[in-house]
Chain A
Amino acid sequence: MNRLKKYFKNKVNTDTLNVYFTAGFPEINQTTEIIKALDVAGADIIELGIPFSDPLADGPTIQKSSETAIENGMTIEKLFEQLVNIRDETQIPIVLMGYLNPVIQYGVERFIKDAAKVGVDGFIFPDLPLIEFKHEWEDLLKKEDLSFSFLVTPETEASRIVELDKNSSGFLYAVASSSTTGSSKTSVVEEKTKNYLNKLKELNLDNPILAGFGIKDKKMYRMINSLCDGAIIGSAFITHIKKNGAASSSIQQFISSIKE
C-alpha cells in the first residue's frame, strides 16, 4: 500500500492539509528542503508541481512560479534526481501534479517507473483524458502501486463523478469552484460550494475527497474540512514563500496560520 492510501486508511477524525508547491520555485535546489519543512510543520500531503510553459488550469500565481521554475532549470529528470533520497528523510505522501506534455516527452512508462523508484505515491494530470488514462496509464500505475486523482467540478454530472471516482485512487480532487487555481470565486459564504461538497458526500464515493482551488486561509480551510476529507492549498502558499522565503521558519509560520 502506498503512503497516500495508508494515510487515509489510518486517518481518524482529523483535518487534512495538502500543500502544493512548484518544484524549482523559488530556487532550483529547495525542493527537498521545502518538502521536509512542510512535513515537520504539519502538512499531511505534498502536491509537487512539475512546471509547464502553458499551464491552462492555473491562475497567475502558479503560472509565474512555473515560469520561474523553468528559468531555474527544473525538468522531470532534475526533479527525480533531487528526490532520489527523499524517503530516507520523510514518509509524507507525495503526489506529482502537472500537465501531460512534459511527461509525453519523458515517456509515460519511464515516468511512472522512475516516479515509483524515488518514492512518489500518486499523480494529478488535469489534462489527461479518461480514455487515454485507461489505455496507457491504468495498468502501469497498478503495477507500481501508484495512485491517480481525477478532478471533478461543481458542473460535473453525477454519473461522470462516479466514473471518475472509480478510476481514481488515493483521493478524488474536488475543484471547489469553476475556475483556474488561486481564484477568488471559492468563498466561505458561497452556498454553491457547500451544496456541491454535500452532493459529493451523498454520492458515497470510493475515495476520500480533497477540495482545492481558491482556499487561502484558516477560515476556508476549516469550512472545507467540515464538508469533505481535506483541503488543498497552492497559490496561497506560493504567494507566502515568494514574499517570506522558503526557510523552515517561514513555512512553519504559514502552516500554523492555517492549522492552529
Chain B
Amino acid sequence: MSNYKVDENGYYGKFGGAYIPEMLHPHIEELKNNFRHIIAEEEFQTEFSSLLKDYVGRPTPLYYASRMSELYQTNIYFKREDLNHTGAHKVNNTIGQILLAKRLGKTRIIAETGAGQHGVATATVCALMGLECIVYMGAKDVERQAPNVNRMKMLGAKVEAVHSGSKTLKDATNEAIRDWINNPDTYYLIGSVVGPHPYPEMVALFQSVISDEIKWQLKEKTGSEFPDAVIACVGGGSNAAGAFYHFTNHPNTRLIAVEAAGEGVNTGKSAATTALGSIGILHGSKSLMMQTVDGQIVEPHSISAGLDYPGIGPFHAHLYDTKRGEFYSATDEEAVKSAYELTKLEGIIPALETAHATAILKKLKFKKEENVVINLSGRGDKDLATYISYINE
C-alpha cells in the first residue's frame, strides 16, 4: 500500500517540499523544528481539545440526511462542519495554529483569505488570544464577500485588500508571504493545505479531527467506522484533507474530491486544477497547478471565492497522481442548483464551496446500501447575495 504521509523532506510522493527564498528559511526552520514536539505536548493537546469542545462546539454532528438519501437512493450523511463557531471547518486549523504561535512567542499574526472564512476564523482566534491580526484578501474577494470583511473588522483584524494579479486568493497568499519576509517575527497562519513544508502537513493534522469524529460517529450509527465514500470540495484542499485523513490507508473508502469547474472545464473560466493543471511550483511547494505552457500561473474562475485557487495542496496532488483519490468538478450553475436542493430538502443552506461537493450526487451513482459521507464544510450565510442574484438572472 502506498504511504500517504509526508516524508522527512516534506514530500507527498513527488509533491510538496519547500521552494522558498532564503529570507523565509529561518521562519520555516523554526516551524519545522518545533511544531511536532509542541503539538505532541500534553498541555497543548488538552488546550486544543478543550477549545474545540467548548469554544468551537465540537464534535460536530454526523447527520443522516433522510430526504436527500431518498432522492439519491443511497445513505447520505453530512458531517456538519457548518455548525462550527464562525461557520466553517477553517476554525479547527486556526485554533491549532494560534496555540502554536503563542508557544513560539509570536504576537503579530498574518493570514490570507479567499471567501473570508479563514480570515474570519483567524480574526476570531486572534481576538480570543489578544493578538494583532492582519488579513490579506484579494480586492475582488473583498467585494464579493462583504459580510465576512465586516466580521473580520468587527473582530479587530485589519483587512488588507490586494490589488495585484487576479486580485483573488492566489495574490492574497503572495502578499501574505511577502509580509512574512519583511516581518520575521510574525506568525503566518496559513489557511489551507498549501504552502511550503511543514504547512500542508500541519494544517492537515489540525483538520484531521473531522475524519477522526466521522469514524466513531459512523460506527455508532452503522456499526462500521468506514464509509464507502467520503466527498469533499477542494480549493486548496483543507476540508477534504481533514475529511480524508484517517481513511487514506483504507482502500475500501472512496475518497472523492470535487473541484470548481467554474463556467465549465473547457471554457477558460474554471478552477478545476486536476483537469487543467500540470506539475509546477507556487506558494512554496511543488504540486499541480493551472498554468500556461510558459509557466505563468493562470487566473482561475469560480463563483465560489474559497475554490478560486489555481492549485491544490501537495497531499491532494499525490492522491490524484496515485489514483487513490477520485477527482471530479462541478460548475457554478450545478453548485448553485445543488445548494437550493439541499436547502429545500434538508433545511440547510450550504456555503457555495460546499455546494460543489453536494452537486456531485447528480453525477455519481451510489448503491442503496452504501454509506456516503459528505463534508458539509461551511454554511451559506456569506453567500446569500450570490445565491439570490444568480437565481434572479
Contact = CB atoms under 8 A, between A and B. Distances in A.
Interface of A: 52-54, 56-57, 59-60, 63, 67, 70, 75-77, 99-106, 126-129, 131-132, 150-153, 155-157, 160, 164, 175, 178-180, 183, 185
A103 B22 CA distance: 19
Contacts of B293: 105
Interface stretch (B40-48, B63-71, B274-282, B371-379): B274-282
A54 B178 contact: no
B181 A178 contact: yes
Contact of A75 (B23, B170, B294): B294
B280 A104 contact: yes
A193 B232 CA distance: 49
A202 B333 CA distance: 64
Contacts, number: 105
Contacts of B26: 155-157
Nearest to A98: B295
Overall SS of chain B's interface: mixed
Given A178-B182, A180-B178, A129 B297 contact: no
B20 interface: yes
Nearest to A77: B294
Contacts of A54: 165, 170-171, 174, 282-283, 297
A102 B294 contact: yes
B295 A106 contact: yes
B138 interface: no
A101 B291 contact: yes
Which 4 pairs from chain A and chain B are nearest by CB?
A102-B295, A105-B295, A126-B21, A151-B22
Contact of A175 (B23, B164, B283): B23
B177 A156 contact: no
B87 interface: no
B284 interface: yes
B268 interface: no
Contacts of A129: 17-20
Contacts of A99: 281
A97 B45 CA distance: 45
B279 A179 contact: no
Contacts of B282: 54, 101
Given A56-B177, A75-B294, A102-B294, A185 B182 contact: yes
A55 to B, nearest CB: 8
Interface string B182-197: 1010000000000000
A52 B296 contact: yes
Nearest to B173: A54
B9 interface: yes
Given A101-B280, A156-B22, A156-B25, A59 B178 contact: yes
Interface string B153-186: 0000000000011000011001001100110100
